[in-house]
């Protein structure tokens, strides 16, 4: 059962639809509503470290009537390769994935980058939903539509702009986040404050824990 949910509307562009970012605790029950009733199949791409979460999501969606499959990928940047993307494409093909089906990426920024890229390239683009589990992924990687993988020549050299159909920021995922990972995400928030909105800086300065 989800608690109070903050809903943030992200405007669309000429080539993409607007979408909603949900922020709160215990939000995974909201996933079915974002997927909708047009999809028959759902592929959950998750890192090895979140195997239990991926399987729990798969089982929950299966109970809701979806044909759900969990696709486990390596942790962190090791997932952002052409080989791993091809592994995901194979899983989608074997599942009979169509244009109306949905990819879900649950994990940190590397996982959501990969999931978005896989969704962007399958059948020239299917819907995908991000469930970021780190601060950095919540405020940066999972929002905005930049997806991609790395090559031997550098990071994010192959990619696409493919905004998600929705984002679930379940703050409960941050309870066990290492301090260093939390701080790196906070640095990204501060950067956004300097670039876009000084109110962000005021909110951080007024919070003793953040300061």
Cα separation, 198 vs 35, in Å, equals 34
Phi, psi angle pair for 158, to nearest 5°: -120, 120
Phi, psi angle pair for 66, to nearest 5°: -85, 150
Phi, psi angle pair for 125, to nearest 5°: 125, 110
pLDDT tens across 161-207, in order?
Answer: 999 999 999 999 999 888 888 888 888 888 888 988 888 888 888 87
pLDDT tens across 6-31, in order?
Answer: 999 988 776 778 899 999 999 988 99
Give the closest residue to 142 by CA, choosing from 175, 119, 125, 158. Answer: 119
- Residue 2 has a pLDDT of 56
Q: What is the mean pLDDT of the chain?
A: 92
- Residue 169 has a pLDDT of 95
CATH 3.40.50.1970 fits 5-177, yes or no: yes
Q: Cα 97 vs. chain centroid, distance in angstroms?
A: 19
Q: What is the 3-state secondary structure (H, E, C) of 15-56?
A: CECCEEEEEECCCHHHHHHHHCCCCCEEEEEEEHHHHHHHHH
Instruction: Pick 3 or 122 by higher pLDDT.
Output: 122
pLDDT tens across 98-141, in order?
Answer: 999 999 999 999 999 999 999 999 999 999 999 999 999 998 87
Each domain of the chain, given as residue ranges in start order, spans: 5-177, 178-211
CA angle 148, 152, 157 (to 5 degrees): 30
């Amino acid at each position: 059962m989800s608690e109070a949910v903050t809903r943030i509307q992200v405007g669309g562009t000429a080539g993409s639809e607007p979408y909603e970012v949900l922020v709160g605790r215990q939000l995974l029950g909201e996933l079915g509503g974002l997927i909708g009733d047009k999809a028959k199949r759902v592929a959950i791409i998750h890192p090895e470290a979140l195997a239990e979460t991926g399987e729990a999501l798969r089982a929950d969606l299966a109970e809701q009537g979806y044909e759900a499959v969990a696709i486990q990928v390596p942790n962190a940047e090791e997932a952002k390769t052409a080989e791993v993307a091809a592994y995901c494409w194979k899983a989608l093909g074997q599942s009979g994935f169509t244009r109306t089906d949905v990819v879900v990426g649950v994990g940190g920024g590397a996982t959501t980058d990969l999931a978005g890229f896989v969704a962007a390239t399958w059948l020239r683009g299917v819907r995908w939903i991000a469930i970021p589990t780190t601060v950095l992924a919540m405020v940066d990687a999972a929002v905005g539509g930049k997806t991609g993988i790395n090559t031997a020549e550098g990071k994010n050299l192959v990619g696409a702009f493919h905004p998600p159909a929705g984002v679930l920021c379940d703050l409960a995922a941050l309870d066990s986040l290492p301090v260093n990972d939390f701080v790196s995400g906070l640095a990204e928030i501060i950067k956004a404050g300097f670039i876009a909105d000084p109110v962000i800086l005021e909110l951080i300065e007024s919070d003793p824990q953040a300061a």
